[in-house]
Amino acid sequence: MGVLTATIKFKVSPEEPLLNLIEKYIQALRLSLNWIINHKETRLSKAHRALYRELREKYSFPARIAVDCYREAISIAKSWFKNPNRGRKPIIKAKRMWLTYRQSYTINLEKMVVKITSLGEIKLIGYPSNIEEYSDWSIREARLIVRNNGVFLHVSVKKNTNEPTPSLNAIAVDINEREIVYGFPSKIARDKTRVEDCIKIKKHINHLQEKYSFSKYKAWLRPKLLKRIKALYKRIRNITEDYAKKQAKKIIDYAIKNDKDTIILEDLNKLNNNSKRLKKPWRERLTYMTYRKLQFWIEWQAKKKGIAIIKINPKGTSTTCPYCGQKMKQIAHRKYMCSHCGFKEDRDVIAVFNLICKMEVALTHPTAPPMKHVNPNKGGELVRNNRRMRVNRGFHLPW
């Protein structure tokens, strides 16, 4: 049994009573946080006795809003206390408000309203297009956030899911800095990554820093330059996050369209440790590849759609022949050929083939269906003629 969580974002009508309540909440949150840190007290019962009555009388809060306020302050203080490198006290800058479902707020999607304690019903003027996908999810706590472009309600939802059983009816995914290659032996798909776009933005940032780092540059313009550089870094983060989410959904849709119930990923947990030996340009590419973020969203989307995920050690998958198991030789850029059976292909496609081959070992006996040997679609007559020799050597193909 697994648990999936998600956040649904709604745009809320920016009514004056709502904005006033949020302003008072921020003041109360600062007061509560200062008391908790000064007294080094994170127990809920102690904070309740010290702060509950003061918050209700000073800010005219309903009972549940007051409780939510010092509960949020406790969570912020705990995070700060646990940080071994903590500096000054945390400062509350963002205008946000913590709400508890059925106690601080309720939401009615048929009427498109949210009911907040002490305020009544407030209209929802915007919602995501895929909201119907979360109709059977259970609603949890929410955050009411004020931004420059409006007021937003971030609602957390949860769903219990059953862990699907992996099978050999699978597609494999190979990730590199330029392309995401995925599919199965008879059908391969390729999608370009956004690494080059991030590299271009990073080069522009370096150019700005070099150009305006001289002492002749007017000091009063430096804050504007710093703001511009922060915006560019934020753009890189947005690009990588957006690409990971969209690419993960595309891979899941591809698997569903081709009636596949399992996705094979490379186990890249130790990739960051090995990257320290790389030169700086390659480390940057590895960073902007965001393979962990991409794999996280693939796993999340797979659980949502009931598709099994299995991770396999990718060692040797790009240079080992999937048909005879021999070491392949490079004949061109990212092109390899097997001198034993004559099979040649792009190294990313070879990796996809080998990941599916390795899955036979990864599966347990009860879940693995009977193997069927089918003529491979690549490699020419030499591969077909050597079938008997490969079977005698004990190397089986899962397709």
Q: Which burial class, exposed, middle or buried, applies to 115 when counting CB atoms under 10 A from its CB (0-12, 13-18, 19+)?
A: middle
Rounded to whole angstroms, how far apart are CA atoms 66 and 269? 43
pLDDT tens digits, one per residue of 260-317: 999 999 888 766 666 666 677 777 777 788 888 999 999 999 999 999 999 988 888 8
Which value, in Å, is the radius of gyration of the alpha carbons in the chain?
28
What pLDDT sits at residue 330?
87
What pLDDT sits at residue 221?
63
What pLDDT sits at residue 383?
36
CATH 3.30.420 fits 170-312, yes or no: yes
pLDDT tens digits, one per residue of 185-222: 889 999 999 999 999 999 999 888 887 776 666 665 67
Token reading at 34: 């200062």
**336 close to 316: Cβ distance less than 8 angstroms:** no
Rounded to whole angstroms, how far apart are CA atoms 4 and 161? 7
Token reading at 317: 């998958």
Q: Please, which residues bridge with residue 156 across strands?
A: 7
Rounded to whole angstroms, how far apart are CA atoms 140 and 236? 31
What pLDDT sits at residue 379?
38
Token reading at 74: 């406790």
What pLDDT sits at residue 87?
82
Residues of the chain above pLDDT 90, percent: 49
Question: pTM here?
Answer: 0.77
Domain boundaries, the chain: 2-161, 170-312, 329-392
Rounded to whole angstroms, how far apart are CA atoms 142 and 65? 12
Rounded to whole angstroms, how far apart are CA atoms 52 and 44? 11
Residues of the chain predicted below pLDDT 70: 1, 214-221, 270-278, 361-399
Q: What is the DSSP letter of 186?
A: T
CA distance between the termini of the chain: 31
